Amino acid sequence: MTKEEQPAYFTETIDEFTAAEEQLVHIRPAVSIFGSARIQPNHPVYQQCQHLAELLSNTGFNIISGGGPGIMEAANKGAKAGRGRSVGLNIELPHEQFANPYQDISLNFKHFFSRKYMFIRHSIAFIAMPGGFGTLDEVSEVLTLIQTKKMPPAPIILFGSHFWTGLKEWLHNVMLPEKLISPNDTDLLQVMDNPQEIVQTICQHYQQIASMQDPQCECGKWRI
């Protein structure tokens, strides 16, 4: 099949991969933050996300969001206020999605596949704020890849016990007894409410993987 005979989505996806890799090659270590586009700036969860992103940014992590409004805006806004880079992976949608103004690097995607790959490729941890189907899709993607060992273990943190505890209980009380998942699979998700605890968890994970890659690595700057 020649390039001219390839489906349009194939060449578009390759172009998206290439452009994104060129922009994100130096963005690690980064943390991806997922969440709803519908949450307004006056909502407590928006403010909590902004605070958490700023903490992570000042600790030395770059922040990657979906680049749109709501929680994505809060994540980029917090990152922009800190020391890290603020990255937005925008997606073309018929409604809800528009680029927020708090991005140091803003990339546009037409296809979810290439966009989700960039979240996963460049992040060492993942935080899910309250969200809808898109947030569940992103969390499920990461969860499946770690479960099947297609990517290294990484923290998947669900922020907000009031929102996420029901999901964790359903996994334990329904999926596990039906033997649809293994007992240790439920441990892949952590439900947390304390931003400082979240930052500490991610720092500890980064220290571990950094020391494995380079035994001489001085990771003290990642402590909070």
Query: Does residue 188 lie within any of the structural domains?
Result: yes
Residue-wise burial string across 68-90, b where 16 or more C-beta atoms lie within 10 A, e elsewhere: bbbbbbbbbbbbbbbebbbbbbb
Q: Is the pLDDT of residue 14 over 80?
A: no
Based on the structure, what is the number of domains in the chain?
1
Q: Which of 80-84, 91-95, 192-196 has the lowest mean pLDDT?
A: 91-95
Q: What percent of the chain has pLDDT over 70?
A: 86
Confidence tier at 222 by pLDDT (50, 70, 90)? very low
Q: Which residue has better confidence, 211 or 193?
A: 193
Query: Does residue 179 lie within any of the structural domains?
Result: yes
Q: Is the pLDDT of residue 139 over 50?
A: yes
For the chain, helix (H) and strand (E) counts, in that order, are 7, 7
Residue 205: name the closest of 159, 153, 150, 127 by CA. 153
Q: Is the pLDDT of residue 5 over 70?
A: no
Query: Does residue 78 lie within any of the structural domains?
Result: yes
Query: Does residue 154 lie within any of the structural domains?
Result: yes
CATH of the domain at 101: 3.40.50.450
Report, as an integer, the average pLDDT of 144-154: 95
Q: Is the pLDDT of residue 218 over 80?
A: no
Report, as an integer, the average pLDDT of 157-173: 97
Query: Does residue 9 lie within any of the structural domains?
Result: no
Query: Does residue 7 lie within any of the structural domains?
Result: no
- For residue range 32-76, list pLDDT tens digits in order: 999 999 999 999 999 999 999 999 999 999 999 999 999 999 999
Q: Which residue has better confidence, 90 or 160?
A: 160
Query: Does residue 209 lie within any of the structural domains?
Result: yes
Q: What is the pLDDT of residue 114?
A: 79
Query: Does residue 16 lie within any of the structural domains?
Result: no
- The domain in which residue 33 lies consists of 26-222
Q: Which residues contact 137 (CB under 8 A, 6 or more apart)?
A: 112
What is the rounded CA–CA span in Å between residue 183 and residue 171? 10
Question: Which two structure tokens, joined as six digits, stand for 171?
Answer: 């996994």
Mean pLDDT of the chain: 88
